[in-house]
Amino acid sequence: MGEEWNYVCLRVLVVCVFFLSVCVDSSGVKHYTNKWLVHVPLGEVVAREVARSNDMQYQGPDYDNDGFHVMAKDDLPLKSFDHNEDITNRLNSHSLVTTAIQEAVKARSYRGAVYPRHVVPKSTTTSSKTSNSVRRSHMSYFKKEKMISNYINAFNDLRWPDMWYFQDYRTSENQPVVDMNIVPVFFELKITGQGVNITVPDDGIQWSHPEILPSFKQELSWNYILNNKNITPSTDDNGDIKAHGTRCAGEIIMQANNKICGVGAAYGANIGGIKFLDETSTDAREAKVLKYALEYVCIYSNSWGPADTGTIMEHLSDLIKMSFTKGIHQGRDGKGVIYVFAAGNGKADGDNCACDGFVNSIYTIVIASCDDSGHVTHYSERCASIIATAYSGAGFEKNVLTTDVNGQCTDKHTGTSAAAPLVSGIIALALSANPELTWRDVQYLLVWTSQVVPLSDNFGWNRNKAGFYYSVDFGFGLVNAYKLVKEAQTWQNVPEMSSCGIRMPKVRGFPISRSRAVRITVNSTGCEGLSGEINYIEFVQLVLSMTYPKRGDIQIAIRSPLGTECRVLDSRPKDFNTRGLNRWTFTILAFWGESPKGNFIIDVFDTTGKSSNTGVILEMTLSIHGTKDIPPIYKNGPRPYDEFKLAKPGDKPRFLHLGSMTKAKNVDVLRNDDQRQQIIRDAAHNYDGVHMSDYKESNKQNTQKVNSGMTQKTKKKRLKTDLLKMELDDLLNREVSILPMNPLVHDVAINPVVDNDLLSSEEDPAVV
């Protein structure tokens, strides 16, 4: 192994020791196997020959992954940190091989385990005198001592009153809706998800639970760990049955009016589960999962992903991309299956969902979470690929009610894990209302109907020039089931998708450092006159390769031709990777509906790193996806919004926690600034190294760790960790600044030659 690899190993070790994180490398790999998945379209005879000529053992076709064959290198160890790039390269250069992937075991996190929230958003701790009519109505409503839901008698299920996110506490119809507005879909529109098949890829489902059993479908279910149909969850190291999948499924499917537990978001739909999550996974396994039972499944509800350590950037492998493409082109009779993904829970670890390959796919619907007061949760990651938000909990406060293993019911489900299934259920209602919706129609519906009002206490909202409000914390807003389904009923399909690529060959070699930011101005015609012509943007994808001594110091912002600004990447204090970015794709939804004609301005900068930081841009391209023709919904003018006023720094909070209504003496809002800082520090300390376990257990362990005393060495480590915590404190407290365009940019703009030749889309070669 070369010196560089030794250095990487040392890095991995350092990261593991200091942060007690899941021990993985910076691309998410725990270890490599001695097997390769090799795509040989000409079949088994040719594949055998490819294996033989590479001195490998042919192990047979991978039946679930079309055209792939398994080849092993028996003289290599079964587990290794060495990625044997030479073998992969040799296979890839073979004329009869499309692509070869070394099978790696990757770390996977549930999006459900978070610590109790101690952190209060800045806006709730400051005061001011601002007021307006909307605000007054909120305050008067929230000042009521005892609130009664308008839907309290809607169902007879025992814990229905605890499902606060489906309740409507308004005392007057003039007040804005601040729940997910789902009950009117059940009763007024009479839609409950009938005919829609949803599967939950996770750690299995206790399907015999009385809240799940009546809607459970075996054909939507498979166990990819043992390759059989038994999806009953396994036990964890403590002998407890794994509950995550059962909890996520319950949110969608809990039976209505059976007097037990609660009511699912699409209780009339069908549910299945794919058991594959074993705290680790492989590309081959996930590729199968994401196209399993494609002839039946409408929605894959995913509350898992790469570990949220803030140290990983995991590309989607070709295998996964091929599954997504297949699901989108062949699923739902060509209308495309719906892939819902949780945004990630790593915010307190400095993670950013722009560094998650699944999140950056245009095919995934990425859901962030807010708490019961409509504030961003302390764990929900931020990025420009988030499309919408759902309620979730944060531990101490109101959480999500759902089924639990052993036939139980729990009100402790949290994380973006709890937010995503609510949206999967609501999308099922829309598909039930209008089965003709395509995967893109569903995205448009979320863009068109998600609400800013319940989230308007947060900073960082920005209205784009097509009239859509967008926030990198929340996407286009809180999902509103009634508005979405109502719109779906009369929705006209959006026009065909176009993709337009812009190369920037002259940016190669452009230097960037701590003191010199790069600003790149690139002219776009929107591929006018070409087959990829776009007049209405959906997604903009920035593909970037660059060198940099600490990857976590790279920050990126972008401005659209019409002047809308968007932060693409925040710094990630824990990411010490030294290799920069290698064709990383960032996906940006903030310019939805705008015209792509004019200058895009891209800033790459570093405001947090060492003064010695220096790197160069190696490659940059923009891919724009959208439509040439006007989507029918745009013809009547910009999207209407309910009245709201966005919070400004210094505003008093308008939305309080539901829990605080009855326990006013203990509300976080009462704490002073010093107390708040201490709480944040304590909370940040507790986040170390825990991803899969329940927060109570983790707190216990942390207490034991502290009580067991520290050696001198531990103290030193702690000091370093504390320094990092200070950076994290900054991160947690930082207001969302949309774009630091000036004054952080120290360099002059460059104007590279623009090559508007069509690029094939990153993910969808079939489009162009």
Residues identified as active-site = 202, 244, 417
H or E element at residue 691: none
If binding is defined by CB under 5 A, does position 344 make contact with Ca ion? yes
Rounded Cα–Cα distance for residues 564 and 55 (Å): 55
Note the Cα 237 to chain centre separation in Å.
28
CB of 255 to Ca ion, least distance (A): 5
* Residues between 404 and 463 with contacts to Ca ion, criterion CB under 5 A: none
Stretch binding Ca ion (CB under 5 A), from 54-62, 345-353, 614-622, 703-711: 345-353
Q: Between residues 413 and 514, which has the closer beta carbon with respect to Ca ion?
A: 413
Rounded Cα–Cα distance for residues 8 and 6 (Å): 5
Stretch binding Ca ion (CB under 5 A), from 236-244, 347-355, 476-484, 489-497: 347-355
Figure out which of the listed residues 25, 286, 308, 371 binds Ca ion, where binding follows CB under 5 A: 308
Is 331:296 a contact under the CB 8 Å cutoff?
Answer: no
Cβ partners under 8 Å of residue 261, min gap 6: 157, 158, 159, 211, 250, 254, 401, 402, 403, 409
CB of 357 to Ca ion, least distance (A): 10
Place of tokens 């109505």: 137
554 by DSSP, 3-state: which?
A: coil
CB of 261 to Ca ion, least distance (A): 5
CB of 305 to Ca ion, least distance (A): 6
Maximum distance among all Cα pairs of the chain, rounded to whole angstroms:
77
CB of 605 to Ca ion, least distance (A): 22
Q: Which amino acid, one-letter code, is at 158?
A: L
Q: Between residues 158 and 670, which has the closer beta carbon with respect to Ca ion?
A: 158
CB of 277 to Ca ion, least distance (A): 16
Q: Between residues 346 and 393, which has the closer beta carbon with respect to Ca ion?
A: 346
Rounded Cα–Cα distance for residues 390 and 340 (Å): 12
CB of 154 to Ca ion, least distance (A): 12
Q: Between residues 514 and 572, which has the closer beta carbon with respect to Ca ion?
A: 572
Stretch binding Ca ion (CB under 5 A), from 59-67, 127-135, 341-349, 469-477: 341-349
Q: Between residues 414 and 449, which has the closer beta carbon with respect to Ca ion?
A: 414
CB of 280 to Ca ion, least distance (A): 16
Stretch binding Ca ion (CB under 5 A), from 237-245, 308-316, 573-581, 644-652: 308-316
Q: Between residues 426 and 512, which has the closer beta carbon with respect to Ca ion?
A: 426
- Two tokens, residue 746: 């120290």
If binding is defined by CB under 5 A, does position 254 make contact with Ca ion? yes
| DSSP 8-state symbol, 113 | -
Length reported for the chain: 768
* Residues between 137 and 166 with contacts to Ca ion, criterion CB under 5 A: 157
Q: What is the rounded radius of gyration, in angstroms, for the C-alpha atoms of the chain? A: 25
Note the Cα 734 to chain centre separation in Å.
21
Q: Between residues 254 and 738, which has the closer beta carbon with respect to Ca ion?
A: 254
Strands, DSSP E only, in 414-559? Answer: 462-463, 469-470, 498-503, 511-513, 518-524, 536-546, 555-559
If binding is defined by CB under 5 A, does position 255 make contact with Ca ion? yes
Rounded Cα–Cα distance for residues 733 and 606 (Å): 19
Q: Between residues 359 and 502, which has the closer beta carbon with respect to Ca ion?
A: 359
- Two tokens, residue 724: 């990092």
Q: Between residues 79 and 259, which has the closer beta carbon with respect to Ca ion?
A: 259
Sign of CA dihedral 764, 282, 11, 18: positive
- Two tokens, residue 30: 């725990």
CB of 346 to Ca ion, least distance (A): 4
Rounded Cα–Cα distance for residues 578 and 452 (Å): 39
If binding is defined by CB under 5 A, does position 494 make contact with Ca ion? no
- By the 10 Å C-beta count (0-12 exposed, 13-18 middle, 19+ buried), 319 is classed as buried
Q: Between residues 103 and 351, which has the closer beta carbon with respect to Ca ion?
A: 351
- Cα dihedral 205, 210, 211, 214, rounded to 10, equals 90
Stretch binding Ca ion (CB under 5 A), from 257-265, 372-380, 484-492, 692-700: 257-265
Stretch binding Ca ion (CB under 5 A), from 33-41, 337-345, 466-474, 620-628: 337-345
Residue showing the smallest CB distance to Ca ion in the complex: 344
CB of 348 to Ca ion, least distance (A): 11
Q: Between residues 254 and 520, which has the closer beta carbon with respect to Ca ion?
A: 254
Stretch binding Ca ion (CB under 5 A), from 351-359, 477-485, 683-691, 743-751: 351-359
Rounded Cα–Cα distance for residues 110 and 245 (Å): 9
If binding is defined by CB under 5 A, does position 98 make contact with Ca ion? no
Is 249:291 a contact under the CB 8 Å cutoff?
Answer: no
Figure out which of the listed residues 54, 80, 137, 258 binds Ca ion, where binding follows CB under 5 A: 258
Is 112:247 a contact under the CB 8 Å cutoff?
Answer: yes
Figure out which of the listed residues 103, 203, 279, 351 binds Ca ion, where binding follows CB under 5 A: 351
**Residue count, binding to Ca ion (CB under 5 A):** 11
CB of 207 to Ca ion, least distance (A): 15
Place of tokens 């304590």: 682
- Two tokens, residue 589: 């939804």
658 by DSSP, 3-state: which?
A: helix
Note the Cα 692 to chain centre separation in Å.
17
Rounded Cα–Cα distance for residues 485 and 490 (Å): 9
Stretch binding Ca ion (CB under 5 A), from 195-203, 246-254, 276-284, 727-735: 246-254
Is 198:271 a contact under the CB 8 Å cutoff?
Answer: yes
Q: Which residues bind Ca ion (CB under 5 A)?
A: 157, 254-255, 258, 260-261, 308, 344, 346, 351, 356
